[in-house]
Amino acid sequence: MSFAVGVDAGGTSTRAALVDATGAVLGTGRGDGANPNAHAPEVAADRIAGAITAALGAHDPGAVRACVVGMAGVSKLSDQGVAAVFTATWARIGLTCPVRTVADAEVAYASATPAPDGTVVVAGTGSIVGRIRKRRLAGTTGGYGWLLGDEGSAFWLGREAVRSTLEALGRGRPLDGLPSAVLTAALGLSGLDVRDDDARLAASRALITAANAEAPVRLARFAPLVSAAHDAGEPAAREIVDRAAGFLAENALAAREPGESTPVVLVGSVLGGASPVGELVRRRLAGLEVLTSSDGVLGAAWLAAVDAFGEGAPRPRPERD
């Protein structure tokens, strides 16, 4: 018997699945985040290896015919030194098959549809839009990281929440709603005297200091505050949500050819069904087939199965009890 292995290695968690030629999931494994841009390459590779080993269980790693690893931060493997770390790790755990590392957007797309061509829109901590051709990432729009882009992402939403709070402090605006929530979450401040200019200035400086003292992506923790304020009808939050949806929808359409009728797959917490950003993006893409990624690791496993067993490989189904 021969097998295929799929891995979905994100920034916060890693999952692996072992499948056979019938599409049955024979084993699964989990680990911590394995984005090599956020973790040392040795750490990221070991975490993926641990998840694969757990998924294999007692099965022979030499019987694995193909492995696809969908990885956040896959561009890091363009560094030959980093790539060598991963190659050595695959050999260490006994894999003798080709291991194909792809962007996590590719496996997310494959989890939602077997269509070979389409568009994938990812908005979690970061954001990116990918043009999919023959199940491969053929081009991207956005996705430049926190310093250069990531518009519409949780990071971006959190940053805009902090900026909106700073503007409210500096311009003498009311501090209820979103500003109050941000000040409470960031500084533990509540009930700030809105008439006290010195208190406003001190809070502004403290908020700037607190935001700059942490890793930039930590701003993503304020994104849920934007959603809550939006749902409460706060104009500033509604404007932030509208701009986020606009960026994501515009990038999605920019990645498509005129008249293209292929699927659009939405991925990530910002685009979930309960997210106001996701709701607006779906409205702006009305008329297109819009799908939601279900389980990236099953997408990776199916791509690996296609590599191993051919185009007729069944899509993986959950492991039976």
CA distance 278 to 137: 22
37: helix, strand or coil = coil
Main-chain phi, psi angles of 25, to 5 degrees: -85, 115
* pLDDT score for 305: 96
* pLDDT score for 321: 40
CA distance 136 to 315: 17
pTM of the entire predicted model: 0.84
Angle between helices 235-254 and 276-284 (to 10 degrees): 40
Q: How many CB atoms lie within 10 A of CB 78?
A: 8
Beta strands in 142-212 (DSSP E): none
Which segments of the chain have a pLDDT < 50? 321
* pLDDT score for 124: 86
Residue pair 41/85 in contact by the 8 Å Cβ criterion: yes
* pLDDT score for 146: 80
205: helix, strand or coil = helix
**Secondary structure (H, E, C), 100-159:** EEEEHHHHHHHHHCCCCCEEEEEECCCEEEEEEECCEEEEEECCCCCCCCCCCCHHHHHH
* pLDDT score for 145: 79
